[in-house]
Amino acid sequence: MLNIRDLSTLERTAAWLDELVSACRHLGSVYVENPKLTADVTRKAKALRTSLKTLRDFVMKPKEH
């Protein structure tokens, strides 16, 4: 059973991933430093964000008895 701290961690992580994707936007200040590496980070952050959403949806789903 997840506690409030675990749920908070999932929510904060989702917000941080959104910030990371935003910071790595095309032609942004991070992107111009190393476009290939920034694109790699963006792809991985988006994949993790998708997995995290799936996990959050699963743990928030009411349990059937």
**Burial of 30 (C-beta count, 10 Å sphere; 0-12/13-18/19+):** middle
pLDDT in tens, the chain (65 residues): 788 999 999 999 999 999 999 999 999 999 999 999 999 999 999 999 999 999 999 998 877 76
- Reported pTM: 0.83
- Give residue 65's pLDDT: 64
Nearest Cα to Cα of residue 20 among 12, 54, 8: 12
- Give residue 61's pLDDT: 85
- Give residue 63's pLDDT: 78
Q: Where are the beta strands (DSSP E) in 3-65?
A: none
